[in-house]
Amino acid sequence: MSKQPPQAFNPGKGDLSKLHEVQAQQAMTLDEQRQEAIAKRHAKGYRSARENLEALVDKDSFVEYGQLAVAAQRARRSLQDLRTNTPADGVITGLATVNAAQFGEERAATAVVVNDYTVLAGTQGFFHHMKLDRIIHVAQERQLPVIMYTEGGGGRPGDTDIQIGGGTLDVSSFVEWATLCNEVPTIAVNNGYCFAGNAALFGCADIRIATQSSWIGMAGPAMIEGGGLGQFAPRDIGPIDVQSKNAVVDLVADNEEHATELAKKVISYTQGDVSDWQCADQESLRTALPADRRYAYDVRGIIETVADTDSFTELTRGFGGAVVTGFIRIHGKAMGLMANDCRVLGGAVDCDAADKAGRFVSLCDKLGLPLLSLCDTPGFMVGPDSEVQGAALRMATMFKAGAKVRVPLVAIVLRKAYGLGAMAMTAGSLKVPVFTAAWPTGETGPMGLEGAVTLGFKKELDAVEDPQEREALFNQLVEEMYERGKATESAAATEIDAVIDPAETRRVIVRALS
């Protein structure tokens, strides 16, 4: 039997009114029909939620969830009012791609949450939480990274349609979000006020970006006053100059445009390698350190020379400055970096720097990014003041993070590698890295050479009465100790794996990680 050709589809003259009704309702959520609210936003110099969304995601890639939701307030407001003034119940959620042109659609797949401050001050209502939970579950099931814009005033007491008893604490969004943050890369972006529940979401994220015009607090003015703690203006609570110095904020952006660019760059480190890269002249590294080992230098200049051009993104710069942390690329390969800054406490790792470094090591392990450690430290910061800050507990976080790390680590000793601080910079031991090398300027020891001589040769030094002779003996002993601990001697004793030409640093790192 011969097959009959398929019949062409012949559409009838159906009713399009329902489609037009849906399209009209959808249009009410867009900026074009919310000109008054958007104008107020622009008057502050801020973007709308949908403008941030458009700048973040690839063109035509966004699939929205819950666009037609409105606040659960039908008992007290008309449906038309709710559609006009509470579109999407104050939060835009969906799936999209970010950086697909560079990494492909599969690697670029991202879940997106954008809180909308023009809707009831971005507060979290009943359907708002349901939408948030829904996109979290989708991201968890598909193991997608999430970028969330967190501006908003926290919980919303005005939703009257849902009649439940108790203290309205039957909300799962926070534990669901925190659980997701343990599994996939999460980036929070904030501009404006971010209080209470919104701040809790912001604080859970792996990387936290905030603009200069950000105020972030676990309670807003009303809650603070209600708790009997006094009256404060919103801008008195958690300004950026506070939150960037205490590690709440990792990256400070000029404005929302800059913050969105940073979010796209940060997520790119998790999306794969790039083939188009350049780097600085590597021979300059041979003379990068001062000839006098006692002099300081700018380690960021070394980082930017070792890394691919414009690939270094530093995190949490305002906190724990003795250790620099951030993301870089070498030969296009993304990795995490930590380095001692000898201009801060001589590079000694204090409690804040230990907290910062420990968290960063754990983050890179979670993200699957290999680690590079550039070591130049006299050790941990010691003394009574350090113990008041909880040194024994907080500094141990670096060893605990190092003990769990599964990604490969390469360590390069630039100059000093002394004591427990140097071991912490190499995840707990010089043998933990897949390769531990030193520049010719490297030196190792149980503690700083000067301190070791002062302690170890106290009797000999005290026996010399003439101050000039005592100083000459001290310098001689320091030089002898330096000779025993310099890089070549450390390599000869197999304490480190190699001494390398600084100009070969990039090649050594790439080969060690291959």
Residue range 483-494: mean pLDDT, rounded: 86
Q: Which of 159-173, 265-279, 476-490 is predicted most confidently?
A: 265-279
User: CA–CA separation, 499 vs 442, rounded Å?
Assistant: 8
The pairing of strands 323-330 and 109-115 is unpaired
What is the rounded distance in angstroms from the CA atom of residue 255 to the CA atom of residue 221?
A: 24
- What CATH number belongs to 21-268? 3.90.226.10
Dump strand ranges (E) for 78-203: 91-97, 109-115, 146-149, 186-195
Question: Where do runs of H (alpha helix) occur along 188-239?
Answer: 197-204, 221-226
User: How many whole angstroms separate alpha carbon 475 and alpha carbon 127?
Assistant: 72
Beta bridge partners of 187: 147, 207
- Residue range 148-160: mean pLDDT, rounded: 87
Average pLDDT rounded to a whole number, residues 142-163: 88
Cα 49 to its chain centre, rounded Å, is 22
pLDDT value, residue 14:
74
Percent of the chain with pLDDT over 90: 72
- Residue 514's pLDDT is what? 87
The one-character DSSP state at 239 is: B
Q: Check if the beta carbon of residue 207 is closer than 8 Å to that of residue 150.
A: no
Q: What is the mean pLDDT of residues 114-143?
A: 93
Q: Look at residue 477 in the predicted model and tell me its pLDDT.
A: 73
pLDDT surpassing 70 at residue 169: no
Please give the backbone phi and psi of residue 3, each rounded to the nearest 5 degrees, phi first.
-80, 140
d(CA 510, CA 60): 37
Per-residue pLDDT, averaged over 482-502, amounts to 89
For tokens 């009257």, name the residue: 160
Give the rounded percent of residues in the chain with a pLDDT score beyond 70: 93
Q: What is the mean pLDDT of residues 20-32?
A: 90
> Buried b vs exposed e over 282-305: b needs ≥16 C-beta within 10 Å?
beebeebbeeeeeeebebbebbbb
pLDDT tens track for 64-108: 999 998 887 888 898 898 888 889 999 999 999 999 999 999 999
Give domain limits for the chain: 21-268, 282-442+486-513
* 313: enclosing H helix or E strand: strand 313-315
- For 248-279, write each residue's pLDDT tens digit: 999 999 999 999 999 999 999 999 999 999 99
Amino acid at 509: I
Instruction: Name the pLDDT band for 2 (thresholds 50, 70, 90).
Output: low
Confidence of residue 167 (pLDDT cuts 50, 70, 90): very low
Q: What is the pLDDT of residue 164?
A: 57
Mean pLDDT (whole number) for 305-315 = 98
Say if residue 313's pLDDT is above 80. Answer: yes
Work out the angle at residue 189's Cα, subtended by the Cα atoms of residues 130 and 222, and round it to the nearest 5 degrees: 70
> Per-residue pLDDT for 1 more than 60?
no
The CATH class given to the 282-442+486-513 domain equals alpha beta
Write phi, then psi, for 250 (nearest 5 degrees): -85, -40
Report the 10 Å Cβ neighbour count for 21. Answer: 10
443-445 vs 498-499, strand pairing mode: unpaired
Q: What are phi and psi of 214, to 5 degrees?
A: -125, 140
- Segment 36-58 shows an average pLDDT of 96
Contact 322, 348 (CB under 8 A): yes
Residue with the larger pLDDT of the pair 54 and 13: 54
HEC secondary structure over 333-357:
EEEEEEEECCCCHHHCECHHHHHHH
Report strand pairing: 333-340 vs 371-377. parallel
* Mean pLDDT along residues 360-387: 95
CB 386 within 8 A of CB 393: no
What is each CA distance from 63 to 67, 180, 274, 362, 458, in whole angstroms?
Answer: 10, 20, 27, 32, 72
Question: Alpha helix locations (H) across 143-209?
Answer: 173-181, 197-204
Burial, 185: exposed, middle or buried (Cβ in 10 Å; 0-12, 13-18, 19+)? buried
CA–CA gap between residue 79 and residue 440 (Å, rounded): 74
pLDDT digits (tens, 9 = 90+) for 386-440: 999 999 999 999 999 999 999 999 999 999 999 999 999 999 999 999 999 999 9
Q: Pick from 103, 105, 116: which is nearest to 191 by CA? A: 116
Residue 391's pLDDT is what? 94
Query: What would the mean pLDDT of 150-156 be, rounded to a whole number?
Result: 89
- Determine the pLDDT at residue 76: 87
The reply to whether 21-268 and 282-442+486-513 are identical in fold is yes
| Averaged pLDDT, 341-366 | 96
Return all residues near 315 (Cβ < 8 A) that are at least 6 apart: 207, 250, 251, 325, 326, 327, 360
User: Does 228 score more than 90 pLDDT?
Assistant: no
Rounded distance between C-alpha atoms, residue 485 and residue 130, angstroms: 61
Mean model confidence pLDDT for the chain: 91
Phi, psi of 175 (to 5 degrees): -70, -35
What is the average pLDDT across 150-170? 74
| Helix/strand/coil percent split, the chain, to 5 | 45, 20, 40
